[in-house]
Amino acid sequence: MKSEEVAQYLKEHLQFFNEFPDLLSDIEIPHPQDDKVVSLHERQVISLRDRNRVLQDKLRELISFGEENDVIGGKMHRLVIALLATTSMNEVLNALYFSLKEDFSVPLVEIRFWDVPCIDLSRVEFAPVSEDVHVIAQSLAQPYCGNHIVDEIKHWFGEGGEHLNSFAMIPLNTSQTIGLLVLGSPDAERFYPEMGTLHLKHLSELICTAITRYSAVNQTNNSTPILDNLSNEQQT
């Protein structure tokens, strides 16, 4: 008889040990960690201790995750406050860079926008990008974390890009994709494929909200003189 069959028999015949009560105290089985033998009761205590140890490890892990999320939540809150205090698109970008580099300790940050009206063409964030970059950003259903990015995006980091070993690519989406945020680190484990991306998604939403707010303001301001000129022409 196989051991699996014995186990199945005992499960199906729960009255077995009632019929043989002395068996519980007479049975001795090998200790799971030593060479000695222990009674069935002692073996159950050992098993319960092992289970308790596993549960304690899981609890410590959950507490650690909770504490880490609290820290990240605090950093996100400070970023929200900083973005609310901005009065221009330049201030939005400066606040974003400061938060990511100083508060989140991201070594290198690059961002590119497109299809954003009334942009400041003097800033590198609005420099033209290839259609391939547009396709990559549009294809990302969620942020990408890993060790590889295409050469064009890696070149955004300049000479510092040669020392980067992990990346996070975060699409910036409103009703359409308007840009791409890329974080880089020399630590190969900083942005790894299995890491959670919820906070990165929230970061994308914050950036898009702030950017579209000021792009809409600029578009309105720039259109006002044109409307005034048309009105004056009609009067003449």
pLDDT of residue 232: 44
> DSSP class of residue 230?
H
Handedness of CA 199, 200, 205, 206 (dihedral sign): positive
- In the structure encoding, which two tokens stand for residue 20, read together? 């043989």
The residues near 78 (Cβ < 8 Å, ≥ 6 apart) are 99, 103
Cα separation, 229 vs 236, whole angstroms: 11
The DSSP bridge partners found for residue 145 are: 168
Across 159-198, the runs of DSSP E, i.e. the strands, are 166-173, 177-185
Q: What is the pTM of this model?
A: 0.69
Tell me the per-residue pLDDT of 61-82, one tens digit each, with 9 for 90 and over. 888 888 888 899 999 999 999 9
Tell me the per-residue pLDDT of 181-199, one tens digit each, with 9 for 90 and over. 999 999 999 999 999 999 9
- In the structure encoding, which two tokens stand for residue 124, read together? 């590198």
Tell me the per-residue pLDDT of 83-133, one tens digit each, with 9 for 90 and over. 999 988 889 999 999 999 999 999 999 999 998 876 667 789 999 999 999
Cα separation, 48 vs 6, whole angstroms: 22
> DSSP class of residue 28?
E
For residue 207, count other CB atoms closer than 10 A to its CB: 22
225/8: higher pLDDT? 8
Which DSSP string do the residues of 102-126 spell out, in sequence order? IIS--SEEEEEE-S-SS--TTSGGG
| Domain range annotation of the chain | 1-85, 88-221
The residues near 176 (Cβ < 8 Å, ≥ 6 apart) are 115
Fold of domain 88-221: Beta-Lactamase (3.30.450)
